[in-house]
Amino acid sequence: MKIIKEAEGIIFAPRASEIGNPTGCMYPRVIELKHSKGELLATFENYSKKEPVFAPIYKSADSGYSWKLFSKIEDTSNGYGMRYQPTLYELDKKCGDLDVGTLLFAGNSIPKDMSSTEIVFYISRDHGKTWEFRSSVAKGGAPIEQNFDKLGPIWEPHIFINSKNEIAVMFSDERLHGEKDYNQVLVMVTSSDAGKTWSKEKLVVALKDKKMRPGMPIVCKTKKGYFLCYEIVGSPCNDIYFKTSSDGIDFGDPAKKGTRAETEDGYYLGSMPYCVYSEKYDAIILNAKRDSEEIGLNTINFLVNYQNGKGKWQKQKQLLEYDNRILQTGWSKGMAVIENGTKLIELSPVQSNKELMHISYAIAKLEE
């Protein structure tokens, strides 16, 4: 499979006068609506001056080449603000009282004083036009990393459906950092009633090492099961590791760090991964902010694998260029395989200047 870039552009570029955080925006996500008219929806962190902040939903009706603001997901449950780490999912089969095509959303509800974190769950029954609060997934402490003397925060939710047709949310959890020498762990909760209530947290990756922080989990469904990728902060380049599961429920021993995705010559990726699956080519496509080579203004590589993660990975150029010496660039780059498996879209925060980001997109053909 070849990934051939066709186009790129900008979804959103904030005005410096309108933002309350100099970064402006980051953490984009994108999905294709397969049970509507094939539109694309994108969301991202939006650091507006106006409180409470919301998660914007941008829509493209032309396969990603142009975008307009479509709706807003507002924090109707707490009134704090939908501040961090939004994520989207479209149901491809009926789940409890939720029909095929229902959209699911999770984000981090955080007050302006940054005193707590809460992953909240919303649904849309009209393809993203309107949204309703469904439930609270989990609650944590203030959004401060390695705040070991107090209740830790929770971060970075990701939604998928397991083999039991349960809604699963995997996220990063620092609430256990006072136990068993943990720093941050990956946990998963599931819902058997379509997101109304949630199970107790289950450990997925939990390393007994105060320096190691597994985080930013992403799961994609493949022909052979489920593929999970994540970063481990504390490794040389915040290296990207993975685990697999036959059912999306059991990802193996949480005490094991998993397998690092790398090529035969030892090239690997670091920081803030995202993965998607191409059914047409039976391929996992993995991206990240940076790689194991020189940091600078460059286009790093995708890693591609055709054996559900087994064996070595192959390099192909990622689609968007940015200066990864700037911390916020490439801060978690959403992707989706679209157009009946013939194209790939990648979103990323890219520098407008040394502080301010905008959300860029790039579109590529997938060919033999």
Chain segment 111-156, per-residue pLDDT in tens: 999 999 999 999 999 999 999 999 999 999 999 999 998 999 999 9
In one-letter notation, the amino acid at residue 1 is M
Beta bridge partners of 263: 313
Position 324 scores a pLDDT of 86
Return the closest-CA partner of residue 245 out of 294, 297, 188. 188
Q: Is 183 exposed, middle or buried (0-12, 13-18, 19+ CB in 10 A)?
A: buried
In one-letter notation, the amino acid at residue 342 is T
| Residue 295's pLDDT band (cuts 50, 70, 90) | low
Position 298 scores a pLDDT of 60
* Mean pLDDT for the stretch of residues 274-296: 90
d(CA 33, CA 312): 32
Contact 189, 138 (CB under 8 A): yes
Check pLDDT > 80 for residue 297: no
| Residue 178's pLDDT band (cuts 50, 70, 90) | confident
Position 294 scores a pLDDT of 64
pTM, 2 dp? 0.97
Beta bridge partners of 99: none
In one-letter notation, the amino acid at residue 265 is D
- Domain spans, the chain: 2-367
Position 331 scores a pLDDT of 95
Over the chain, what is the mean pLDDT?
A: 96
d(CA 361, CA 42): 10
Q: How far, in whole angstroms, is CA 314 from its chain's centroid? A: 22
| Cis peptide leading into residue 52 (ω within 30°) | yes
- Tokens encoding 235: 């490794």
Q: How many residues does the chain have?
A: 368
Check pLDDT > 90 for residue 292: no
Contact 309, 324 (CB under 8 A): no
| Residue 244's pLDDT band (cuts 50, 70, 90) | very high
What sign does the dihedral 258-263-265-266 (CA atoms) show? negative
Phi, psi (deg, nearest 5) at residue 309: 100, -15
How many other CB atoms are found less than 10 A from the CB of residue 353? 9
Choose which CATH entry (2.120.10.10, 3.50.50.60, 1.10.275.10, 3.60.15.10) describes domain 2-367. 2.120.10.10
In one-letter notation, the amino acid at residue 368 is E
* Mean pLDDT for the stretch of residues 20-27: 95
Which residues, 6+ apart, have CB-to-CB distance to 156 below 8 Å?
A: 85, 171, 172, 215, 216, 217
Beta bridge partners of 203: 187
How many other CB atoms are found less than 10 A from the CB of residue 129? 12
Cα distances (angstroms) measured from residue 186 to each of 11, 157, 161, 172, 174: 31, 10, 17, 5, 9
* Mean pLDDT for the stretch of residues 228-236: 96
DSSP collapsed to 3 states, the chain: CEEEEEEEEEEECCCHHHECCCCCEEEEEEEECCCCCCCEEEEEEECECCCCCCEEEEEECCCCCCCEEEEEECCCCCCCCEEEEEEEEECCCCECCECCCCEEEEEEECCCCCCCEEEEEEEECCCCCCCEEEEEEEEECCCCCCCCCCCCCEEEEEEEECCCCCEEEEEEECCCCCCCCCCCEEEEEEECCCCCCCCCCEEEECCCCCCCEEEEEEEEEECCEEEEEEEEECECCCEEEEEEECCCCCCCCCCCCCEECEECCCCEEECCCEEEEECCCCEEEEECCEECCCCCEECCEEEEECCCCCCCEEEEECCCCEECCCCCCCCCCCEEEECCCCEEEEEEEEECCCCCEEEEEEEEEEEC
